[in-house]
Amino acid sequence: MSNLTLYLLLWPTIAGILILFLKGQSAKRTAFGAALIEFFMAILAMIQYEPNAYRQFTFDHTWIENFGINFSIGMDGISLLLVFLTTFLVPLIILSSFPHSYKNPNVFYALILFMQTGLIGVFTSFDAFLFYFFWEVALIPIYFIAGIWGGERRILITFKFFLYTIIGSLFMLVGFVYLYFQTPGTHTSDINAFYQLNLSATDQSWIFWFLFIAFAIKMPVFPFHTWQPDTYTESPTQATMLLSGIMLKMGIYGVIRWLLPVVPKGVSQWDTLVVVLAIIGIVYGAIIAIRQSDLKRLVAFSSISHVGLIAAGIFTLTEHGMQGGIIQMLSHGINVVGLFFIIDIIYRRTHTREIANLGGITQTTPALSIFFLILLLGTVALPLTNGFVGEFLLLSGVYQYNNWMGAIAGLTIILGAVYMLRMFQGVMFGEQNNVTATFHDLTRLEKAVLIPLVIMVFWIGLHPNTFMSLTEPTVGHLLGIINR
């Protein structure tokens, strides 16, 4: 199975094309089956992966020979973890859509699988232009999913999202083209050639901003975040899950893979500013989340806060910060998808996401209450849950970088507990009302979505080395390049 990465890349595309020809509800079941097969291929990759070896499951083929551009894919520890996250969440996201009746379901589910191809491509590409190609491939399906099946303001909001991301992509393309022409001899866009460039500090400073803006928009980091809350709110829940659980990680991954090791001198000139912006995002996102009355917007702003901490940790260029950022990408994806699914359950039963209109739900929903509480505790980083491991490492990294910045970043623990517990109290406790009086507990299908997520909350919290041992050698390799 040396071509496992290629199979992971092709399978969702093939399945998506076949689903386009299906009619009725068979499309959703076929998409779920296809996503499960993709997940089992990722598990096989994890079993066969050798942590101390470099890039594995590679496939290299000449793409545009005259320009030195190759179809070069493979996986190291970081790629593998993000491929696992993608393939773990996509079947759950598809399963979570079963209670919905979307118009043209074959197109809806085919687009989800096409987007999965783009995401896998982004996380496994080792050629700059191939990475850019899959970056755009991942954007197009989510644009149509949000634009066609979104809320009343979907056209305006989706256009704003598209405009932001396409501008970011153009910045990245300009940066890559410049780097490409700096490679010696016959030019190439191979990642190792980019790593070996010896650009001046001035050039690296300019390239830093071209690449950083592209990745900062996608993450998103303050002040590049303004597209995010509206897009999360207006998109159908499955699109929100894809955006927050997986697509958001493209920007963080881009920083780790394509920014820090390529222009380390540029990073050293601007890292303090980025860490400050990230910490502003931590506090800003949390305070705005506290003020939100709409559940979806609350979780959207909480994501800005959590991503701010990930960005701050990564830009400390410490092993703790880098490892913490990677493990927190995994944890955040699991927790935020679970929270958005619970919000979807509440909305389907009550037709409202306003906290003031809810209350007393826990009186008739023991299973929902337990799942909701576990995901919430994982989000606020309670020890023994998945959020604790990443946040501890991230805060440790920021504290090593600067004591005061570490102290301010630590506010995320207090503020996160405030907005999450306020949400739980307002929705689940108190007296029932006309809206929540007939609220019933989870169905089997809803439990089937939430049980794997909760298992992962405790698995990562209790056995983080299962995942950190996969990424540790790769992180050491990248830090060696950055600090050379």
pLDDT tens string 222-259: 888 888 888 888 889 999 999 999 998 999 999 999 99
pLDDT the model gives residue 1: 58
Q: Which residue has the tokens 């909760």?
A: 454
DSSP-derived 3-state class of residue 434: coil
Which of 249-262 are b and which e, b meaning 16 or more Cβ less than 10 Å from the residue's Cβ? bbbbbbbbbbbbbb
Q: Rounded to 5 degrees, what angle do the CA atoms 359, 348, 364 make?
A: 40
Judge whether 293 and 419 are in contact, CB under 8 Å.
no
pTM of the model: 0.94
Residue 476 neighbours by CB distance under 10 Å:
13
pLDDT tens readout for residues 34-76? 999 999 999 999 999 998 887 899 999 998 888 889 999 999 9
Spatial separation of the C-alpha atoms in residues 106 and 25, rounded to whole Å: 8
Handedness of CA 399, 401, 403, 409 (dihedral sign): negative
**Averaged pLDDT score across all residues of the chain:** 92
Residues 451, 426, 157, CA angle at the centre, nearest 5°? 75
> What pLDDT is stored for residue 420 in this prediction?
92
pLDDT of residue 106: 93
How distant, in Å, are the alpha carbons of 174, 179, 317 from that of 194? Answer: 14, 7, 19
The confidence score (pLDDT) of residue 146 equals 87
Q: In the predicted model, what is the mean pLDDT of residues 101-128?
A: 94
Residue 215 pLDDT class (50, 70, 90 cuts): very high
The answer to whether 297 and 232 have CB atoms below 8 angstroms apart is yes
State how far the Cα of 15 lies from the Cα of 274, in Å rounded to an integer. Answer: 41
Say yes or no to pLDDT of 3 above 90: no
β-pairing, 56-64 vs 69-75, is antiparallel
Q: Can you give the pLDDT at residue 444?
A: 95
Report the alpha-carbon distance of residue 230 to residue 227 in Å, rounded.
6
Give residues with Cβ within 8 angstroms of 399, minimum separation 6. 405, 406, 407, 409, 410
Question: Is the pLDDT assigned to residue 108 strictly greater than 90?
Answer: yes
Query: Per-residue pLDDT for 2 more than 70?
Result: no
Q: Are 22 and 106 in contact (CB under 8 A)?
A: yes
**Confidence at 190, pLDDT banded by 50, 70, 90:** very high
Average pLDDT over residues 263-267: 93
Query: pLDDT at residue 443 above 70?
Result: yes
Find the DSSP H helices in 97-225: 105-124, 128-149, 154-182, 191-195, 201-218
**179 pLDDT above the threshold of 80:** yes
What does the DSSP 8-state code read for residue 62?
E
